[in-house]
Structure 1
Amino acid sequence: MDKISNDDLLKKLETDEKNGLNTSEAQKRLLRDGKNALEEKKVTLLQKLMPYFWGPIPWMIEAAIVLSLITMDIKDFIIILLLLLLNAFIGWRQDKSAQDALAALKNDLALKANVLRDSKWQEIPASDLVVGDIVAIALGNVVPADAQILSGDYLTVDQSALTGESLPVTKNIQDVVYSGSIAKEGSVIVVVTATGVNTYFGKTAKLVAEAGAKSQLTGEITSVGNFLIIGAVVLSIILVTFQLILIRPLDQVTILRIVKTVLVLMVATIPVAMPAVISVTIALGALQLSKMKAIVSKLNSIEALASVNVLCSDKTGTLTQNKLSVAGVFPVEGITSELMTTYGVLASDPKGEDVIDLAIKNFLKSKDSLSSYKIDKFIPFNPVIKRVEAVVEKDGKTFHIVKGAPQVIVEMCKLVGDNLKNIQDKIDELASHGFKSLGLAIGDGETWSYMGTFSLADPLRVDSKSTVQALKAEGIDVKMITGDSQNIAKEVANQLGIGDNILLATDVFGTDDKNMTITSKMQKQVEEASGFAEVFPQHKYEIVKVLQSKGHICAMTGDGVNDSPALKQADCGIAVSGATDAARAAAALILTNPGLSVIENAVNEAKKIFSRMMSYIYYRIAMTINIMIFSVIVTLIGKYLIHRVVPTDGDSFFPLTAIMLVSLALLDDIPIMTIAYDNAEISSGPSIWNKKRVFTVSFVLGIISVVQSIALVVWADKGWSQITSFSQLQTLVFLQLVVGGHLLLFITRRSGWFFTKPFPQWKLFSAIVLTQIFVVFMTYFGWLVESITIRDILYVWGYNILWMFPLSFISIILKKIK
């Protein structure tokens, strides 16, 4: 709403400053405009569960379940159903845990408002405010809605969470105050002009609703899954066609069993459990981060954090403390810094919470020096004359102290010549470095003597510089983004070692933020900049989008409402300790301890998670190629490979039964989920998804594994084994695929030799060992499969251990592909 006179505004809003709205009218407006809150989309339990049962992979599992019922294969039915439910439960449970953590955070903010209704002042939930309500705002209150000041002396507000300005802003009669800003000094009566999505906060939230970046790794994993599904479908069609041609006699039940077996083969080979494995890996990483005082609200952002190569960091409250402090004291000749600071404290409101007064009080080394002074009178800050004044007594003598804007104090002292030039030069020098200046003078109330100048600044957080330098060492380019002036931004950037190429946002994006068009020139400026000053929310959002359009993986840190759109748009948004509710809701990582040092730890933890997922992806693709191609080859040309132990049911040489395939899927993937605990490698720079490397390594390892499995079948048929039937050969193949698969994981988890550090974490190692022991018992005692001898079991184990050495050597070479 445009700024208009208070009388005209009250008429336009049809309200009364003395009586406020009546309850009936307030209810009508509440129904018309809605709650003074941001709407949240509600997702039903059915909508959350549906994705786990609807899609190409769930359809295949469900079809296999139906066919098992039709053919009355009850064992197959139970085990396949268990696989489907297990996958759905794990995915849903991890998503629910993350959402519950975020919901708990949102409950921290429950604002109240002191409103005039029915001629009575009363406290109501801020969400029930309507346009036209008369509201009282005092020291410490959070402004509950956009409003215009009707009466009161003045109001100093901290709106850094909204605009990024580090210094409090003074508001006078007829000025507008924004929802979410905090009253630091004064008290006023206001009339509400906008609520909910129509506030400055709400308009920013619209950007948040539009923002959002998809995880690159999640997208790549999806494409890998789709590729494997297509390949598996093509090979399955070939397999079904040849079996229908070769098998005789061919009846309805046989056809259904062939189709079901091929469906189960697809379930066993396609990465059915990949979503569950990745969910568990990320969720356990989130649990580890929570121990570092960081709450993860969007699980898939952790994998993005591992790949981040640009960090866009808000300055105020993120890199700095959002708390003014005295940066320097510059007294005139003959005055000591301690005396000047003492006088600065005496000219401070002893009962107030003014941030400038607090900064000077905190800077005074010894409070003992104040005991010899008595304050007779204190005149608080007046935004019109821009100074405070104290009448002080010491040793029976009375004098005045004034403190305020340096230009005002200099003028009061009537300085001339070199004295004026020297003081003005110091003030200009401080301004050029982004410091706020404060002048101090003493006198008798009529004539004044200039004592000196204070420089004030928002100090860096203790760990900001070390964290920034550590991130740069990890190959992450740090860019500072702030609503403050260019001079302030440059000074902070130099202190942090970020660089001095700080650009004004309007110089890059112009002033028309409604019709902003990204150009190649803008892209180059954004990429090369060390940071940006005088930034608005739309600028932050666009900066992140521009960097993403150039292929960068972006993280964004912030704490204010003005950071929310960029936090959500970023690949990984990070809300620092003390962030607003809007910033926390938009962020993916929420820090609960002050400072940024946890980000460095979070990046390393994310790299471990990335490494664990890559280990699984290499393994899963290779195993898919191994099982599918091996099964097709043996089925099609088995009669040429196997001569001693041929099948008894016609010409079907399918190497695995349906129950073996389902067992293989469970035995492969359930223990593999413990890879989430593994002692993973940490890359020296950003962890980058390299599609060429992934497919090359996986394909070659998969093909070599096919050769390994076929060689075992041929060797076993030649007579080294004690098997006497085709069903025992199937058991031998089943054991080979389980043992070879798990040993392959020990290879894919390392970029070096499988027997070098870091060794597997004990949970992963124990899970695989226990699974292998179970498979030994399963194949020896004939649980769900035809039993084989202990000698054959040991042969398979020795055979696979020998193959680990050439597989590891080839993996090391292939993983060096750029």
Structure 2
Amino acid sequence: MTLRTLSPRVPTHAKKQTNAQLSQQEWLRHAAAATPAELFRELNSGEEGLRAGQVDEARAFWGANATTQAAKRPAPLRLLAAFADPFTYILVFIALVSVLTDWVFADAGSRDVTTPLIIGVMVLVSGVLRFVQDEKSTVAAESLAEMIETLANVERDGDGGNPIPLDEVVVGDVVHLSSGDVVPADLRIFAARDLFVSQSSLTGESEPVEKRASLANPGAQGGTPADEPGACALTDLADLAFMGSTVISGNARGVVVATGARTMFGEATGTLAGRKRQTAFDEGIRSTSRLLMRLMAIMLPIVLVTCGITKGDWLAALLFSLSVAVGLTPEMLPMLVTCCLGKGSVDLSRDHVIVKRLDAIQDLGAIDVLCTDKTGTLTEDRVVLERHLDLNGNDDPRVLRYAFLNSYFSTGVKNLIDRAIIERALAEGTDETPVAPGLSAEELAERWHAVDELPFDFERRRLSVVVGDADGQTRMICKGAIEEVLAVCVDVEVDGCVRPLTDEERSRVTSRAEALANEGMRVLGVARKANPAGAGSLTVEDEREMTLIGYLAFLDPPKASSAEAIRALAAHGVSTKVLTGDSARVAEHVCRSIGIPVDGVLTGEEVERLGDEELAARVQEASVFAKLSPAQKARVVRTLRGLGHAVGFMGDGVNDAAAMRESDCGISVDSAVDVAREAADIILLEKDLMVLERGILCGRRTYANMIKYVKMTVSSNFGNIFSVLVASLFLPFLPMTAVQLLLLNLVYDLTCTAMPWDNVDEEMTRTPRRWDTLGIRGFMTTFGPLSSVFDVITFAALFFLVCPTVAGGAWGTLDAAGQALFAGTFQAGWFIESMWTQTLVVHLIRTTRVPFLQSRACGLLLGLGAVGVAAVTALPFSPVGAALDFCPLPAEYFALLACVVVGYAVCVLLARRRYVRRHGELL
């Protein structure tokens, strides 16, 4: 049977089904119920994996292991999505109404499409700019993310397993799983040892579930069709592991039965990152949008009624009120936010930081609490076995021998502890200094062989291995945290004699371990048991009645840069809390050595005992959390967020993944285990907190430039609305037509497209920055009405001085042509004054320093602003201005304009000082 003719064997009635999803479910149920031999035969594979020539055939028949490609929309749809914005819809509505009034129902001689054409250009420019920025940011993020590649350990041609990229995995491959791995596809497990996986990406359940090599009741679970009563959920099938699940502990081998979009995960989400949590950034954007929409809902009817009653032209009033409503909202905000974040990701890449989730840049800048694992983050990630001691505190080669056998024959990922033990044993395992009488480490490995294993997990905190020799003798060797190893011991070995573990002996053992911990060492216990009864089918119940023989003391020295980084983070308003599975004494020693104040210590046992309210009161004070399980780490992070903190979590182990998902910004490193990298939003290519500090500053600069645009634009447009209301009440014509007002907003927004590249004052990056809707509202109500005051002054000067001079008389004395000239001059005057003051205020309130002297905007922002002001000033004198009903202005107007601009600048600077004194910050 060749793979090309292969068809999954499913129950006959299932073959009649046309539903693709049901067919896939039936195939997975069939794979669960089949014996490994049957399944290998159907997949044309075997326990040694596929042969080299079969891989391409399998990929061609079953499909590639990719879900993200299918989720990405085609470019034309992405282009249309760039125009999918409520404010764009309003502009299109205005254009349609204008087409009807100015063309369809207009007299043949007065038809004019100028208004809809200008609005069309505005919509086109806004949408295309947003599309271009989205595409640039997406390409940059994807290219950076490709630098971090998740691998799967796949066996082919019986090579024992080699790492390959996930997208190269095919149906029929044999995959090796161990602690920290991400399951690369849907697998049928055929060999497993204490395998526990988290299926939260599929089920939402955080508790790990056990997977085995066979079903408890295959007839009931695997053979029952999915559409009949009594069928269990696919995720409950014990011998299936699903794509996107993470291995918490244990190890296994499985054969791939589904890849890519045909997996459970592929059908459910299409991408591992599809389930996006709500972060501080999301909450800020959402609350700001609600504020703007409420203002629109309030102001639109007010302007409509006011203009309709005073002017008598309700259609023109409707168009004008709609344009005012759009003008209130920064319509370029989506594009500006994307552009700011995209630039931030590129800037971070220069600091060797990869951004997986674009808006995580702002979340990184917003954090005020950094929770971090200890090992490898604060320490050098270079664990050295300093001492191997008997229970009297003397160096003992036998303790090293037993530890070596435990680490060498364990089948999981060799962690830093295991590598340190093996390296020390190899270094001492010479003829002169053997680790055992007459035996080197290599000879020990040849003399003994692995029989059974109880892998490490974060609840037991120990690992047991059973080894056997040629004579049939077996030994169970256990190593782990001293308290957990003591818990399964009944005897101690002192001076070659075995005696009961009394309370006195237990106290002596604990005291010696604490003394080593006080020196900054991590202490493990080593225990043994001869000929364990459960060898070959070992369970946790067999891990008892052991004999403690000694200690292992490890040193992971603090990084030289850690103290400097902690000080730098504190100077920028970020407090550091250490969340570790290590002992409290070791964590305290490391924290004190690098300058983290040990204000309080909470252990995992205490965290478990405290209620939510009690824990909330304690987490604020404590800076060290020791001996935490993964779930306890996540609970601490969740509690801190519930108290209003923006929390970042930095870790690299499988025990850190849950906490990273709970945080506002998960941070990991490129050398982390797969599950930690998948859970992270930010990945550091250098495992150094100084890199993180630079990333936080970049996030704050990104936020500063975003909030500049939002606050400046909303306050200016808010002021314009008050100006419009005043003008509507007292003027016999509209102060600006709908198209003129929209064009003003467009030109101003285009000059602000340089905001992502603007310079940021140092004081704006000293403290955490996060979205503050109340701050936006306060800024808007302070500076908006101030601009209205000078608009009203401009209105009075134009209406009583400038326009009568140009038109040859007051409004009431003019004929229709004179009134048109009067109104066109007035509208041109306010159009120019608005652009001048809006552009000037950008430079006045982008900083608390002296504008242009102590703090200067970037050259691009200065240049675009100057071009925008020049273009608007020249517009009334051009044919385009005439088409927009603008009239040229006299020279006297510009003297008036200079006085208004200078007076406005002085008042803004005074208001700025008062605002900072009251609120403590400007932006």
The TM-score, its normalising length taken from structure 2, stands at 0.65
User: Quick one: which of 422, 436, 444 aligns to 2:523?
Assistant: 436
Alpha-carbon distance in structure 1 between the residues aligned to 2:599 and 2:680: 28
Amino acid at match of 1:114: E
User: Quick one: which of 654, 673, 683 aligns to 2:734?
Assistant: 654
2:809 is equivalent to residue 723 of structure 1:
no
2:389 is equivalent to residue 324 of structure 1:
no
Secondary structure at the counterpart of residue 528 of structure 1: coil
Secondary structure at the counterpart of residue 222 of structure 1: helix
Alpha-carbon distance in structure 1 between the residues aligned to 2:669 and 2:828: 56
2:366 is equivalent to residue 300 of structure 1:
no
Summarize deviations over 1:531-580 as a string: whole Å, max 9, x none: 43444444343333322222122222233455444434422222323234
Report what 1:671 is aligned to: 751
2:444 is equivalent to residue 379 of structure 1:
yes
Equivalence map 1:408-427=2 (5 Å): 411=493, 414=496, 426-427=512-513
180 and 633 in structure 1: CA distance in 2 versus 1, 3 angstrom threshold: closer
Amino acid at match of 2:296: I
Report what 2:864 is aligned to: 767
Is 471-480 or 256-265 further displaced after alignment?
A: 256-265
Summarize deviations over 1:381-420 as a string: whole Å, max 9, x none: 777998999xxxxxxxxxxxx9999999994862899x99
Alpha-carbon distance in structure 1 between the residues aligned to 2:558 and 2:161: 42
Alpha-carbon distance in structure 1 between the residues aligned to 2:466 and 2:383: 18
Equivalence map 1:112-131=2 (5 Å): 113-114=154-155
Report what 1:643 is aligned to: none
Report what 1:811 is aligned to: 912
Alpha-carbon distance in structure 1 between the residues aligned to 2:702 and 2:619: 30
55 and 501 in structure 1: CA distance in 2 versus 1, 3 angstrom threshold: same
Alpha-carbon distance in structure 2 between the residues aligned to 1:702 and 1:38: 49
The answer as to whether partners of 2:155 and 2:175 remain within 8 angstroms in 1 is yes
1:740 Cα deviation after fit? 0.8
User: Quick one: which of 769, 777, 780 aligns to 1:698?
Assistant: 780
Is 103-112 or 699-708 further displaced after alignment?
A: 103-112
User: Quick one: which of 43, 63, 69 aligns to 1:23?
Assistant: 43
122 and 420 in structure 1: CA distance in 2 versus 1, 3 angstrom threshold: closer
Is 482-491 or 372-381 further displaced after alignment?
A: 372-381
569 and 348 in structure 1: CA distance in 2 versus 1, 3 angstrom threshold: closer
506 and 258 in structure 1: CA distance in 2 versus 1, 3 angstrom threshold: same
795 and 694 in structure 1: CA distance in 2 versus 1, 3 angstrom threshold: same
Secondary structure at the counterpart of residue 653 of structure 1: coil
Alpha-carbon distance in structure 1 between the residues aligned to 2:309 and 2:290: 29
411 and 500 in structure 1: CA distance in 2 versus 1, 3 angstrom threshold: farther
Alpha-carbon distance in structure 1 between the residues aligned to 2:858 and 2:272: 45
The answer as to whether partners of 1:112 and 1:124 remain within 8 angstroms in 2 is yes
12 and 279 in structure 1: CA distance in 2 versus 1, 3 angstrom threshold: closer
User: Quick one: which of 630, 641, 644 aligns to 1:551?
Assistant: 644
Secondary structure at the counterpart of residue 154 of structure 2: strand
Secondary structure at the counterpart of residue 378 of structure 1: helix
Amino acid at match of 1:810: A
Alpha-carbon distance in structure 2 between the residues aligned to 1:425 and 1:141: 37
Secondary structure at the counterpart of residue 735 of structure 2: coil
User: Quick one: which of 612, 616, 622 aligns to 1:523?
Assistant: 616
2:128 is equivalent to residue 63 of structure 1:
no
Amino acid at match of 2:371: C
Alpha-carbon distance in structure 1 between the residues aligned to 2:178 and 2:887: 81
Alpha-carbon distance in structure 2 between the residues aligned to 1:207 and 1:508: 30
Is 617-626 or 38-47 further displaced after alignment?
A: 38-47
477 and 136 in structure 1: CA distance in 2 versus 1, 3 angstrom threshold: closer
Alpha-carbon distance in structure 2 between the residues aligned to 1:658 and 1:143: 58
2:543 is equivalent to residue 476 of structure 1:
no
The percent identity for this pair of structures is: 20
1:521 Cα deviation after fit? 1.8
Equivalence map 1:316-355=2 (5 Å): 316-326=375-385
Report what 1:5 is aligned to: none
288 and 235 in structure 1: CA distance in 2 versus 1, 3 angstrom threshold: farther
Alpha-carbon distance in structure 1 between the residues aligned to 2:574 and 2:613: 23
Alpha-carbon distance in structure 2 between the residues aligned to 1:60 and 1:594: 49
Amino acid at match of 1:737: S
1:233 Cα deviation after fit? 0.9
2:682 is equivalent to residue 589 of structure 1:
yes
The answer as to whether partners of 1:212 and 1:570 remain within 8 angstroms in 2 is no
Alpha-carbon distance in structure 2 between the residues aligned to 1:813 and 1:141: 56
Structure 1's unaligned 5+ residue stretches are: 1-10, 163-171, 248-254, 390-401, 440-450, 511-516, 639-651
Summarize deviations over 1:591-625 as a string: whole Å, max 9, x none: 23332222211222222223223322332122112
2:344 is equivalent to residue 262 of structure 1:
no
Amino acid at match of 1:273: M
317 and 93 in structure 1: CA distance in 2 versus 1, 3 angstrom threshold: farther
Secondary structure at the counterpart of residue 271 of structure 1: coil
The answer as to whether partners of 1:268 and 1:664 remain within 8 angstroms in 2 is no
Amino acid at match of 1:700: T
1:814 Cα deviation after fit? 1.5
1:130 Cα deviation after fit? 11
Alpha-carbon distance in structure 2 between the residues aligned to 1:34 and 1:518: 50
Is 664-673 or 552-561 further displaced after alignment?
A: 552-561
699 and 458 in structure 1: CA distance in 2 versus 1, 3 angstrom threshold: same
Equivalence map 1:529-678=2 (5 Å): 529-638=622-731, 652-678=732-758
Alpha-carbon distance in structure 2 between the residues aligned to 1:455 and 1:539: 26
Summarize deviations over 1:32-71 as a string: whole Å, max 9, x none: x999999999363587566654454222111112123222
Report what 1:647 is aligned to: none
1:324 Cα deviation after fit? 2.4
Report what 1:508 is aligned to: 607
2:347 is equivalent to residue 288 of structure 1:
yes
Summarize deviations over 1:268-316 as a string: whole Å, max 9, x none: 3432222322332232222222222223333333333333222222334
1:733 Cα deviation after fit? 1.0
1:800 Cα deviation after fit? 0.3
Alpha-carbon distance in structure 2 between the residues aligned to 1:279 and 1:436: 49
Alpha-carbon distance in structure 1 between the residues aligned to 2:171 and 2:119: 59
The answer as to whether partners of 1:489 and 1:502 remain within 8 angstroms in 2 is no
The answer as to whether partners of 2:387 and 2:395 remain within 8 angstroms in 1 is no
329 and 35 in structure 1: CA distance in 2 versus 1, 3 angstrom threshold: same
The answer as to whether partners of 1:678 and 1:764 remain within 8 angstroms in 2 is yes
The answer as to whether partners of 1:112 and 1:123 remain within 8 angstroms in 2 is yes
Amino acid at match of 1:629: F
Alpha-carbon distance in structure 2 between the residues aligned to 1:139 and 1:673: 48
Report what 2:598 is aligned to: 499
684 and 129 in structure 1: CA distance in 2 versus 1, 3 angstrom threshold: closer
Amino acid at match of 2:598: G
Amino acid at match of 2:113: I
Amino acid at match of 2:709: Y
Alpha-carbon distance in structure 2 between the residues aligned to 1:735 and 1:141: 63
Summarize deviations over 1:706-748 as a string: whole Å, max 9, x none: 1211212222344368633321221111100000111111222
